[in-house]
A = this chain, B = another copy of it.
Amino acid sequence: MTVLLEKDIRAAIAEAARRVRAETPMAPSITNTVTISFVANAQLAAGGSAAMVYLPDEGVAMTRAAGAFYINAGTFFPFYAEALPATARELHALGKPWVLDPVGIGIGNMRTDVLASFRKTPPTIVRCNASEIIALAGLWGLNTGSLVASRVKGVDSFDSIEDALPSAISVARYSRGTVAVSGATDLVTDGKTTVRCPGGSKRLSLVTGGGCSLGGVMAVYACVATPFVAALAATSLYNLASVRAAATTDGPGTFAARFLDELYKALPDEIAAQPFNVEECQ
């Protein structure tokens, strides 16, 4: 296995950020209704273009205009039983990158069935928290994970990043993609190289959609970069912008507004200079 070098990773992040600003890439979504507005606003602020749909034929149609796609499982509608698998199949057939946020995994039969179905057409990037990746690995029958062991309770995580690492690596290897686990320290792995990002403000967890919108911005970046670089660039951007927004605000309302401003203002070299540690996967 070849481990990526830190300087090459940083150069690729800066290049991805420059291309997003120059090309305004379109990353459509089927996403939840709670944070849909914040996802779109974050995608626009970060330099991309957004479009959200719900129906099966609309999801399939949008895969064509898409540089990459975002599927977020936060709120299910009855027609998602068809819309989400159909869109994933089309993305798989077209070879287009897509980001999955398996939020709420374990709640309801349809969500479980749909998330299980993605095993056949796996996402390019999974963006989630620690409990969710353990649950997803379990749902897909990868021996590192466990639907039972993980303590998914609603949408919050009750497992540590380090406990989630084996599941993150196994899902990344199975899907030949990247897994990004958000936490106090964020973890991004493609199954060969693991990067830990210690920065970011915990205030982002007081804003609904902090994680969902990160998945949307990863999809914007996945239009112009490899999944690994896209996930890491978006994570770095979020860590930078959240710290800056927290420094000038004293509560979650003005923080959220300021956070969008900082997504908009962050420079490619600043994004690429965020602290992270690179190591080879065991």
Contact partners of A260 in chain B: CB under 8 A? 251-254, 256
A-side interface residues, number (CB < 8 Å): 62
Any B CB within 8 A of the CB of A270: no
Flag whether A70 is at the interface (Cβ < 8 A).
Answer: no
Chain B residue numbers with a CB within 8 Å of A154 are 26, 28, 49, 51, 62, 65
Find out whether the CB atom of B34 lies under 8 angstroms from the CB atom of A35. no
Answer yes or no: A249 CB below 8 A from chain B CBs: yes
Does the CB pair A58–B76 fall under 8 Å? yes
**List of B residues within 8 angstroms of A155 by Cβ:** 49-51
**A153 pairs with B251, CB closer than 8 A:** no
Assuming the A-B contacts A249-B261, A251-B45, A254-B257, are A153 and B37 also in contact, with contact meaning beta carbons closer than 8 angstroms in the complex? Answer: no
**Contact of A61 with B108 at beta-carbon distance under 8 Å, contacts A49-B154, A208-B40 already known:** yes
Please determine whether B41 and A208 come into contact, CB atoms closer than 8 angstroms.
Answer: yes
Interface residues of A in 206-229 (CB under 8 A from B): 206-209
A184 at the interface (CB under 8 A from B): no
Residues of B within 8 Å of A101, CB to CB, are none
Chain B residue nearest to A110 in the complex (CB): B55
CB distance from A156 to the nearest CB of B (A): 6
Contact B249 A253 (CB under 8 A): no
Q: A251-B265, A261-B251, A264-B206 are in contact. Are A108 and B44 (CB under 8 A)?
A: no
Q: Can you list, as one digit per residue, whether each of A86-129 has a CB less than 8 Å from chain B (1) or not (0)?
A: 00000000000000000010011111000000000000000000
Query: Which residues of chain B come closer than 8 Å to A153, judged between CB atoms?
Result: 26, 65
What are 18 A-B pairs at a CB distance below 8 A? A28-B154, A34-B40, A34-B52, A44-B206, A44-B252, A49-B155, A53-B75, A53-B107, A55-B78, A61-B108, A65-B153, A77-B77, A250-B265, A251-B263, A252-B260, A253-B257, A253-B259, A254-B257
List 16 additional A-B contacts (Cβ < 8 Å) besides A55-B108, A77-B79. Answer: A37-B37, A37-B208, A41-B208, A41-B253, A45-B253, A52-B75, A53-B108, A57-B108, A58-B108, A251-B260, A251-B264, A252-B261, A253-B261, A254-B257, A256-B260, A257-B257
Smallest CB-CB A-B distances: 8 pairs: A251-B261, A253-B260, A253-B257, A40-B208, A58-B108, A51-B154, A251-B264, A253-B261
Instruction: Give chain A's interface residues, CB within 8 Å of chain B.
Output: 26, 28, 32-38, 40-41, 44-45, 49-55, 57-58, 61-62, 65, 74-79, 104, 107-111, 153-156, 206-209, 249-265
